[in-house]
Structure 1
Amino acid sequence: MRPIEPGEFTVADLELTPDEGPRYELVDGVMLVTYMSSAIHQQALGALMMQLASACPEHLEVLPGPLEFRPHNRLALVPDLLVVPRKDSSTRWVDELALVVEVVVSTTRTVDEVLKPRLYERAGVPAYWVVDPEEGKVTVLELVDGVYVERDVVAGEKVFEATLPFPVQIVPSELFRER
């Protein structure tokens, strides 16, 4: 990675970051760096990925990060979980998403609940889910006329009947079980 100098970073700079270690993201030329997540983060992510993958139709696929979402040269985000159109690609990034999921931890709460929803909304991502292991809930945002609206907030045994990007039932208590 080049030395940090005044000016903007671009996706070309991301190509120079190490594949191992912290997660690097780019927002309007500013580099965001986050570090490894907790066990509960990984447990919730794994459980949700299995639920989504079992219901995923053939034209879509469910993928974990660190696959980057790059809708343009000044934005590159690394969602925890993505649902994308199925296509052959050898890149480590995509430019189209059907669903993005972020699992909140204390060090990413503001980014995941405030910043990223606005960025995904501007990029036209149809659905954004925030999974919160600390509070045991899932917040579901869906794009309506270019703006995210809160479709549901589910916790405990309450079943969320997702329609976007495909029909699937999500029960938060199944994501946060003690392992």
Structure 2
Amino acid sequence: MSSALEYWPAPPPWGWTADDLDHLPSDGPNGEPDFFKHVELIDGALVFMSPQRRFHECLIRGLTEGLDSQAPGHLAAVQQMDVKLGPRTRPCPDVTIIDVEAAADMARTCYEVPEVHLVIEIVSPESVERDRKLKPQRYAEAGIPHFWRVEENEGRPVVYVYERDPATGSYGLTGIHHGRLTVSVPFRIEIDLDRLVK
């Protein structure tokens, strides 16, 4: 009998790279469909994301639609598309604000840092450590100017808004938003957060 590990894609001798994600098989080692569909690369390691809760899905859809409807003409909101931060790091933010020219390219599988203006991560129980510490640190180091972390508090979303300080290269918290989010950067945004989960 064959072992599942026999069919597991082995990393190259130098480890996984951001470009390798475009060449992973579609099915898993035991024929699981779309097994590699929800995988990120963080510091050369493949990270598999757990199944999404309905709360998470509602926020992704609502934030994407809300941001896209308010974005100026040169920007667009996309959901669950990879951002290539470096040769060994390619996370998949829940929502991203990018240049509209990049969004128009239907062949793209990821975006480059200069095309990205805001990344949003919605924290899941299994992603707390990555979404609160590791990924924001990598986004800031890469130079992405704005980062939002979304958490759940008693069934309602809370948005932690960060802006990158160019002097330190790290994010500083600029606001914690309950109920309604109103910010002026990266553009004027107003979102009724509680309506996103009704």
TM-score band, normalised by shorter chain: 0.7 to 0.9
Identical-pair percentage: 25
More helix by share: 2
Which residue number in structure 2 is paired with residue 75 of structure 1?
89
* Alpha-carbon distance change, 21 to 165 in structure 1, aligned in 2, over 3 angstroms: farther
| Structure 2 gap segments, 5+ residues each | 1-7, 27-33
Matched, 1:163 2:184: yes
1:32 to 47, 55, 59: 47
Which residue number in structure 1 is paired with residue 197 of structure 2?
176
2:138 to 119, 125, 148: 119
Residue pairs, 1:13-92, within 5 angstroms? 13-18=20-25, 20-22=34-36, 23-65=38-80, 67-87=81-101, 88-89=104-105, 90-92=107-109
Letter in 2 for 1:131: V
What's the TM-score once normalised by structure 1's chain length?
A: 0.88
Which residue number in structure 1 is paired with residue 110 of structure 2?
93
Q: Give, in whole Å, the separation in 2 of the partners of 1:12 and 1:154.
A: 36
Shift of 1:74: 1.2
Letter in 1 for 2:188: P
Q: Give, in whole Å, the separation in 2 of the partners of 1:17 and 1:164.
A: 37
Which residue number in structure 2 is paired with residue 103 of structure 1?
122
Matched, 1:149 2:172: yes
| Structure 1 gap segments, 5+ residues each | none
Q: What secondary structure, in the 3-state scheme, does the structure 1 residue paired with 2:164 have?
A: strand
Larger Rg: 2
* Alpha-carbon distance change, 18 to 134 in structure 1, aligned in 2, over 3 angstroms: farther
Q: Give, in whole Å, the separation in 2 of the partners of 1:49 and 1:12.
A: 26
Shift of 1:5: 7.0
What's the TM-score once normalised by structure 2's chain length?
A: 0.80
Per-residue deviation, residues 136-157 of structure 1 (Å, max 9, x unmatched): 31111111222201011111x3
Q: Give, in whole Å, the separation in 1 of the partners of 2:25 and 2:145.
A: 30
Q: What is the RMSD computed on CA atoms of the aligned residues?
A: 1.9
State the structure with bigger RCO (CA 8 A, min sep 6), 1 or 2: 1
Any runs of at least 4 consecutive aligned residues in structure 1 with deviations exceeding 6 A, and if so which?
Answer: none
Which residue number in structure 1 is paired with residue 30 of structure 2?
none
In the alignment of these two chains, the number of paired residues is 174
Q: Give, in whole Å, the separation in 2 of the partners of 1:99 and 1:107.
A: 23
Q: Give, in whole Å, the separation in 1 of the partners of 2:160 and 2:55.
A: 17
Shift of 1:175: 2.4
